[in-house]
Amino acid sequence: MEEVKKYTIGALVSNKSGVLTRISGLFARRGYNIESLSVCATEDPELSRMTIILNGEEYILYQLIKQMDKLEDVKKIGCANELDCVYRELALIKLSAPSEARRQIVEVTEIYKAKVVDLSPDTMILEITGAPEKLDAFVKVIEPYGILEMQRTGVTVLARGKHTLKDRDCYGDHIN
């Protein structure tokens, strides 16, 4: 049996209604759970960029990439090489913050280079950006203060260097 690993798929897709539904449906029909999904407009108003993080076996992953590549609205697609890419995520976290705990919370935010973006009599909202592992570590450290709500954007990724996803010739290459 093949090893189950985490993969990042990057795709440039048509920027129009229904594309996300068709692509996420493709994953659902094959029993894949998408761990993270980020979709946004690009420098080209005709295109959106999707970043999909999932766990699975390499063979099945490449079968999914081939299936996605057959969709009319998928213009370019590839599997990111994590060593050649920059990964970032944003999180907003609302904490219970009684006055006696605020100084400690601020000290933790400074260590992780997070920001306090809102303060009310009983709560604080913190903002943090960085690699997903950094956000995971931050969440673990602030959990004891009482997380009331949290929203994470999903991972975004770009290849280092001059190459872009638009440069790609086929789906079997890495995004780099």
- Residue range 137-154: mean pLDDT, rounded: 96
Question: Computed over its alpha carbons, how large is the radius of gyration of the chain?
Answer: 19
Residue 28's pLDDT band (cuts 50, 70, 90): confident
Q: Contact, 128 vs 110, CB < 8 A?
A: no
Closest CA to 43 of 164, 171, 169: 164
The pLDDT of residue 168 is 61
Q: d(Cα 49, Cα 160) in Å, to the nearest integer?
A: 16
DSSP-assigned letters across all residues of 10-65? EEEEE-STTHHHHHHHHHHHTTPPEEEEEEEE-SSTTEEEEEEEEEEEHHHHHHHH
Angle at 117 between CA 116 and CA 121, to 5 degrees: 80
pLDDT exceeds 80 at position 115: yes
- For the chain, the distance separating the N- and C-terminal CA atoms, rounded to the nearest angstrom, is 29
- Look at residue 64 and tell me whether its pLDDT is greater than 60: yes
User: Taking residues 41-49, what's their average pLDDT?
Assistant: 92
Residue 108: count of CB within 10 angstroms of its CB: 15
Q: For 129-143, what is each residue's pLDDT tens digit?
A: 999 999 999 999 999
What's residue 174's pLDDT?
42
| Domains of the chain as residue ranges with CATH | 4-85+156-175 (3.30.70.260), 86-152 (3.30.70.1150)
- 175 pLDDT band, cuts 50/70/90, is very low
Does the global pTM surpass 0.75? Answer: yes
Distance of CA 175 to the CA centre of its chain: 15
How many CB atoms sit inside 10 A of residue 123's CB? 15
* Mean pLDDT, the chain, integer: 88
